[in-house]
Amino acid sequence: MKLPPGARFSTVCIHAGQTPDPATGAIITPIYQTSTYVQDALGQHKGYEYARTQNPTRGALEQNLAAIEGGAAAFAFASGMAAIDAITTLLTSGDHVVVTDNTYGGTFRLFDKVLRKYGLEFTYVDTSHPELVERAMRPATKMIFVETPTNPVMRLTDIEAVAAIARRSGARLVVDNTFASPALQRPIALGADIVVHSTTKYLNGHSDSVGGVVIVTRDEDVAGLGFIQNAAGAILSPFDSWLVLRGTKTLNVRMAQHNINGMALAEFLASHPKVTKVLYPGLPDHPQHALAKKQMRGFGGMLTFDAGTFEAARDVCNRIRLMALAESLGGVETLVCHPASMTHASVPLERRQAIGLTDSMVRISAGIEDPQDLIDDIRQALA
Ligand SMILES: Cc1ncc(COP(=O)(O)O)c(C=O)c1O
């Protein structure tokens, strides 16, 4: 079982970072549920000393994810937010960051309510217009933090264009690739320096683990992230590492069905008389459909629609039967949420208005069920 040079995406997903267990030949990396490792003699060990610092299950996942995103190294954390927090430790007090204005609410909360206290400055711009990013850059700008597509209004940022701005200014480009997954979008190949994921979503894919990962390209960031992972200690557990490692094996086939189901629901909703708007990058009327075709390999399973009024949106959420009303996304089962009162409740009203997030919007994370069953469910919920 040797990964051939030039192996293609799904082969990399299944095999990278994983060799049969040397002790038993077990084909699947075991869950090394241990806190410490016995050393042969003083100063002689097998590369493992203490499980916050090194764990073979986590190490296998990190190698797997580094290969999948095409980075130099990966570091797995206890949640997506812990991963984002770790990235910001590459900055120092006085540094400035340009951020997508429609970033995940938890990311905004971390930046605005926690990190500003330590002297970091953040400017929020609509990064779907690279000229606004350019205009927001300052001499102190050390990072551009982009989410694409955004949650829940599905705006896209041209990663190549923003990477060029970052390079010219000597700033790092960080892309939160949670919504697309590396099966659909590979930011490092487009010029990003760092990729972050909530592995809770598509990478794990089965709604049974919370985690995060940072994939880096620069030697200094390999050292910086490795240091903070051990120093602050917000590591991913061996069991969660094993779950995500199992998840990435089927990432490519899951994403293929998420693409099909996302498109089927988007087309059905776009033709429904009670729906006033559908936000899905796969629809030709999406303002960045051309960019989605260029930058992504498929349009994914995330879509948002406008039910016209808050009452209509509430009724859809309360009437779905097969789909589940729940926060989170990226699992095999279809989830529905009301962003204004659920995932984005921590975003102030004026900011929600500025990004076009209204109370009448409903977000769907299309799972991988039969698409006709999903259409039947949303049809009866809208009836
Ligand atoms: C785009 C995005 N980034 C980061 C996060 C945070 O991840 P976690 O919930 O695993 O901490 C989320 C969570 O929903 C998200 O949607």
pLDDT tens digits, 43-86 = 999 999 999 999 999 999 999 999 999 999 999 999 999 999 99
Q: Atom of ligand 1 at shortest distance to CA of 103?
A: 1
Please identify which residue in the block is written with the tokens 């995932």. Answer: 343
Task: Provide φ and ψ at 262, rounded to 5°.
Answer: -60, -45
CB 82 within 8 A of CB 212: yes
Strand 361-365, strand 335-337: pairing: antiparallel
Task: Give the model's confidence band at 314: pLDDT under 50 very low, under 70 low, under 90 confident, else very high.
Answer: very high
Looking at residue 36, the DSSP 8-state letter turns out to be B
Residue 113 annotated in active site: no
Report the C-alpha dihedral over residues 375, 379, 382, 383, rounded to 10 degrees.
180
Residue 346 has pLDDT above 80, yes or no: no
Residue 118 annotated in active site: no
3-state helix, strand and coil shares in percent for the chain, rounded to the nearest 5: 40, 15, 45
Strand 96-100, strand 121-125: pairing: parallel
Residue nearest to atom 12 of ligand 1 (CA): 198
Which tokens belong to 171? 């700033």
CA 89 to centroid of ligand 1, rounded, Å: 18
pLDDT tens digits, 204-263 = 999 999 999 999 999 999 999 999 999 999 999 999 999 999 999 999 999 999 999 999
Residues within a 6 A CB radius of ligand 1: 79-81, 104, 106-107, 147, 151, 176, 178-179, 198, 200, 210, 212
Which tokens belong to 311? 């009452």
Report d(CA 170, CA 99) in Å as an integer: 16
| pLDDT of amino acid 306 | 97
Task: Give the model's confidence band at 353: pLDDT under 50 very low, under 70 low, under 90 confident, else very high.
Answer: confident
Write the DSSP assignment of 119-170 as a string of letters: T-EEEEE-TTSHHHHHHH--TTEEEEEEESS-TTT-----HHHHHHHHHHHT
* Average pLDDT over the chain, rounded to an integer: 97
Residue nearest to atom 15 of ligand 1 (CA): 104
Average pLDDT rounded to a whole number, residues 328-353: 91
Q: Atom of ligand 1 at shortest distance to CA of 200?
A: 10
Write the DSSP assignment of 199-250 as a string of letters: TTTTTT-SS----EEEEE-SHHHHHHHHHHHHHH--BPPHHHHHHHHHHHHT
CB 101 within 8 A of CB 93: no
Average pLDDT rounded to a whole number, residues 106-129: 96
Q: Which of 85, 176, 221, 240 is catalytic?
A: 176
Question: Is residue 277 within a helix (H) or strand (E), and if so which, with residue range?
Answer: strand 277-279
pTM of the model: 0.97
CA 333 to centroid of ligand 1, rounded, Å: 18
Straight-line distance from the first to the last Cα atom of the chain, in angstroms, rounded to the nearest whole number = 53
Q: Atom of ligand 1 at shortest distance to CA of 179?
A: 1
Residue 104 annotated in active site: yes
pLDDT tens digits, 159-208 = 999 999 999 999 999 999 999 999 999 999 999 999 999 999 999 999 99
